[in-house]
Structure 1
């Protein structure tokens, strides 16, 4: 039930404006929809093109980044429904270039759906780099999202790199660590075992078109040429730039983050989930069973949060919320919904590193009649002894380029720097420290076993090895 008050609406919109100012967001769109498809709130902030002051509307195209993982998961569940595959099958059965040679047990399809294949994070294998190596030109071959030769070379490189990992997080299914490579492998399975020539074609035929999503796709060229597509804004080393290059930092396999869409289309997509597989046009794209399987908690990934299949799950205001966010150059996104409240939220932004999840949470609370701005959490400190802090002290570095350092402060407390910046931390349990943020808090979880001792730490959704 919509309980939006004028006071909470004002607070919510002030929060959005503050976040946009602080994080230099050029444009942002947010909408709330109920199960029946009725828009309960819709507002557009800033511009799709800041320089020309071009406005945003519900047909403006944005990148979705990792929200794409829900589309990939849905496609895999569709194939499972048809008996084409089983989620308990080894990945190597469908991807011959992945041999499972260094894992002590088979990596199965369901492991990849919830990021638990046992792999540490790796740097991205980029679509433009592979295309350049192969001498592929979009002017000759067409949009790279539909070039099979590129996808075939991409899976060889990705699978080989996963196979070559010898320092593994653990057994398949043991621990969750976010893995774009795994979702790239899943999109290769969709490409080869679906009934379409490419992953992009499969999504179009079996998800996008059936739901009446008219401006959604994996294409790279189409949004760059569309007059009502957002520019992509990023800030690097203090320098702000805007481009129409949707290839920027794009993964070579499309299942991890290639989708682009609009507010109008994403409301239809969220309503499909709220109606457990049935679109607003009464077209069923998946069974209730498949949607419920997607939404089950599978792997712990943060205090109060679980990863499902291409979705995350948490509790908010006494209700369960499913969500997923995304981030790429020129993209910050978040979608969420609650079956308990029969409502969904979409936030799309054309600027990287904007707190879209905080905005989505604020929108959900506003809809429920709650204050959209949560007060800062005051944590009860759980004191770590100096010997333990010394044992966890050191550098934690992951393959995607991020790193942090833990150390003992002069006051005998845990200290943390991340990518050279000091962080305010509070130890709150025997193995977890909370990282204070301006709009939301993060966490560090120390990982230990008898054989390796303290071997790594989970920070956010990724596990960093201790160097």
Structure 2
């Protein structure tokens, strides 16, 4: 492990020497110069102003880029409705599961350096995951579960594809009580807890199914975040900063951003059909996360905060084959793992799934407007994105509502307006 840490100190030095400022490297062009109709901006104004009027969201920021140039970067509504603070494009959003693609990229970087393999058993890095068990039954009254030995160990590949049998408490109800009894959080832990402590407890708990047998969306990427820490000898926050955020110039992205409280967008919920300030009554999430939360818990599956522009940089680097403005963070060859379906029919979905993204398939394209091969995902706080390689487009949409019955309506309307305006 000492040799790995020394290697990473050297790599940090190399990256620091090649880092370049990106603030003056953004390129903008009017929508009609990038193949959109001239009415795109006004159409989006109408859509988001209506959503805000109907109180389905408090505010939003959208960024649409084509051919590496930004056509639309705009804010609507309120960053903080109660305090009458208008939304601005530089405001911060909790991006939840949009964190996952960043962690997956970190794993691919380590793979490219020869420091891990996708078929490595996870127990090689986190011993508590040795000899996994699969849940057979659970008695709610006694809290006793019955389990059997799993067919094999969990691998890095299983974690990248969410086929390990590790779940979230809300995706596999049969595991919810077990996770709760062991204080396994979906997003963030109580103050003073580290990701290593939580993942060690998770490793001793039963799985929903045998590794590789099914898709169970869950804490897999949080486990991968700990693997990054163990292999690199760095905290996940430091690894991201040194090898992804600083090289790309993503200066507004991180787990905890001190001094940025006023830039953090307020969280809302839809309760009884009304848009209300996010309530902490459930005790599951601090409404001030990540400003006043556990500053030691780096959740690789859900913990980042970012801006629309910063996340655009990350996605544009993916679309560019691993580089942004002359700074390469991964080879285009290794990056193909993020663009290639890894599921082989395992999950019940018309689309594919790579080591980090949903991949729109021919069948899936019929349900929407983006073409096959598009890469996408989103976050629980009602944020979403996609990369459209056919049209050389990157799209980011940020709102901040959890829970909401309107997410699909908002996403679909936004996508429909965008592609309807694509004229060439």
- Shorter-chain TM range is 0.7 to 0.9
CA contact (8 A) 1:319 1:341 kept: no
Question: Structure 1, residues 151-202: CA drift from partner, whole Å, max 9, x if none?
Answer: 22112122222xx23xx33x322321211x2111101101111142x11111
Bigger drift between 332-341 and 241-250 goes to 241-250
Alignment match, 1:378: none
Q: How far apart are residue 247 of structure 1 and its match?
A: 7.7
CA contact (8 A) 2:55 2:275 kept: no
Report the aligned-residue RMSD.
2.8
- Distance (Å, rounded) in 1 between the aligned partners of 2:275 and 2:63: 30
Which segments of 5 or more consecutive residues in structure 1 lack a partner in the other structure? 137-148, 371-467
CA contact (8 A) 2:99 2:301 kept: yes
1:368 paired with 2:422, answer yes
Indicate which of 113, 121, 127 corresponds to 1:96: 127
- Distance (Å, rounded) in 2 between the aligned partners of 1:317 and 1:72: 25
- Distance (Å, rounded) in 1 between the aligned partners of 2:187 and 2:336: 37
**Larger strand fraction of residues:** 1
TM-score where L is the length of structure 2: 0.73
- Distance (Å, rounded) in 2 between the aligned partners of 1:100 and 1:22: 52
Indicate which of 321, 344, 353 corresponds to 1:276: 321
Alignment match, 1:200: 237
CA contact (8 A) 1:66 1:256 kept: yes
Alignment match, 2:156: 109
CA contact (8 A) 1:185 1:253 kept: no
CA contact (8 A) 1:116 1:173 kept: yes
TM-score where L is the length of structure 1: 0.66
1:289 paired with 2:333, answer yes
1:172 paired with 2:211, answer yes
Inter-CA distance 191–129: structure 2 relative to 1 (3 Å threshold) = closer
Larger relative contact order (Cα-Cα within 8 Å, sequence gap ≥ 6) = 2
Alignment match, 1:322: 375
Alignment match, 1:305: 351
Q: How far apart are residue 23 of structure 1 and its match?
A: 5.7
Q: 3-state DSSP class of the match of 2:269? A: strand
CA contact (8 A) 2:37 2:422 kept: no
Q: 3-state DSSP class of the match of 1:320? A: coil
CA contact (8 A) 1:118 1:175 kept: yes
Q: How far apart are residue 367 of structure 1 and its match?
A: 5.0
Alignment match, 1:83: 114
Alignment match, 2:185: 126
Inter-CA distance 39–239: structure 2 relative to 1 (3 Å threshold) = closer
- Distance (Å, rounded) in 2 between the aligned partners of 1:91 and 1:200: 21
Q: How far apart are residue 256 of structure 1 and its match?
A: 0.8
- Distance (Å, rounded) in 2 between the aligned partners of 1:214 and 1:40: 22
Question: Structure 1, residues 320-342: CA drift from partner, whole Å, max 9, x if none?
Answer: 21011101xxx211111111111
In the TM superposition, 1:186-225 aligns within 5 A as: 186-196=224-234, 198-219=235-256, 222=258, 225=260
CA contact (8 A) 1:8 1:369 kept: no
Which segments of 5 or more consecutive residues in structure 2 lack a partner in the other structure? 1-32, 134-149, 170-175, 279-286
Q: 3-state DSSP class of the match of 1:153? A: helix
Q: How far apart are residue 357 of structure 1 and its match?
A: 3.5
Q: 3-state DSSP class of the match of 1:3? A: coil
1:63 paired with 2:94, answer yes
Alignment match, 2:393: 343
Alignment match, 1:144: none
- Distance (Å, rounded) in 2 between the aligned partners of 1:350 and 1:42: 17
